[in-house]
Structure formats: structure tokens, C-alpha cells
Amino acid sequence: MSTSFVLLGLLLERPKHGYELKKEHDHRLAGAKPLAYGQVYATLQRLERDGFAEVAETRQEGGPERAVYAITDAGRAELARWLDTVEPPAPYVASPLFARVAVAGKDADGYLVRQREAHLARMRELTAEKADGTPARVLAADYALQHLDADLRWIETALSRLKEETDA
């Protein structure tokens, strides 16, 4: 995910200052790692430098002065280009789960059983969160649940293959 494009997308609705962008990012991308304020402001500076965003005004609302950023025409065009680009499927497996199993080899069965339990526990948590979550939280939970489900199917396949290898 590119933080730059997410922030541009959030600015498309209306000009916002960094605090609003961080808060909205964390709300809309529920389940994603929250943005650090420093990352928001560093990204805004790069967007401004590249001509994709500009300071529309400064406000002082009972605290420090805050710059309010707006998306530029160049930013709109760049965001449209990004939104129209298909995200290519990952060409490589880069999962800590897979790495542990690959390194452990035939001795990975105990790890896989424990990992399966951890996945099932997380799936129960996510399912409970969906019951009273916001639409963004429900979408994030659905996304995570489907990825965990795919991991579980792979864990079962790996356990089966390890068993076949041991029995052979």
C-alpha cells in the first residue's frame, strides 16, 4: 500500500490537516497498521514537493497552527492513474509462516498445529468484531478472515504433506 496515494484519496473529498488525515486513515483502513503522525507529515511534505498537494490554508483551533492540505490537479491525475492500475499478484511468497515451515522442514508439524490454533483464535476475534463494527471495520475483518482461512487451508495441506513424507 502506498501511503501517498491513500492520503491523496482522502484529500480528494476536501482539504484536511495532518491530524484529520491520520485519524481518517486509521478509521477507513481499519485493521491496517495505524499511521504514525511523523509518517503523515513526511508524506504530505513529499506530496507538496512533487506538486500533488498544496497548503490551502493554515488554521489555529485552540492549539498549534495547522496547515490544511488540498489535492492539486496533478495530484488528481496521479491518483486516477494509481486507481486505474491493476495491482499485480505477488510474484514471491514472503510469509513468516511459510519461512518457518520451509526452514523446519519435516519437523514443522508441531509449529503448524500451534499456528493453526492461533489462526483459529484470531478468526474468532475478528468474527466477534464484525457483530458491532463499522462498515470499514467489517470489510477489514472480512479481508483478514479470508486471508487467515487461506492460511488454514495451506496449514492443513502442509500437515498432510509432512505426514505423507514421514509415512513414506
User: What is the distance in angstroms between the CA of the first residue and the CA of the last residue of the chain?
Assistant: 44
**Amino acid making up residue 126:** L
Closest CA to 23 of 141, 130, 136, 127: 136
pLDDT value, residue 153: 95
- Banded pLDDT at 92 (limits 50, 70, 90): low
State the average pLDDT over residues 47-67. 90
Q: Where are the domains of the chain?
A: 3-84, 96-167
Torsion of CA 124, 35, 75, 136, to 10 degrees: 20
Question: Would you say the pTM of this structure is higher than 0.75?
Answer: no
pLDDT value, residue 1: 52
Q: Does domain 3-84 have CATH number 1.10.10.10?
A: yes
- Banded pLDDT at 27 (limits 50, 70, 90): confident
Question: Percent of the chain having pLDDT more than 70?
Answer: 96
State the average pLDDT over residues 136-161. 92
| Residues 134/142, Cβ–Cβ less than 8 Å | no
Question: Percent of the chain having pLDDT more than 90?
Answer: 60
| Residues 136/28, Cβ–Cβ less than 8 Å | yes
Per-residue pLDDT tens over the stretch 132-145: 888 888 998 999 99
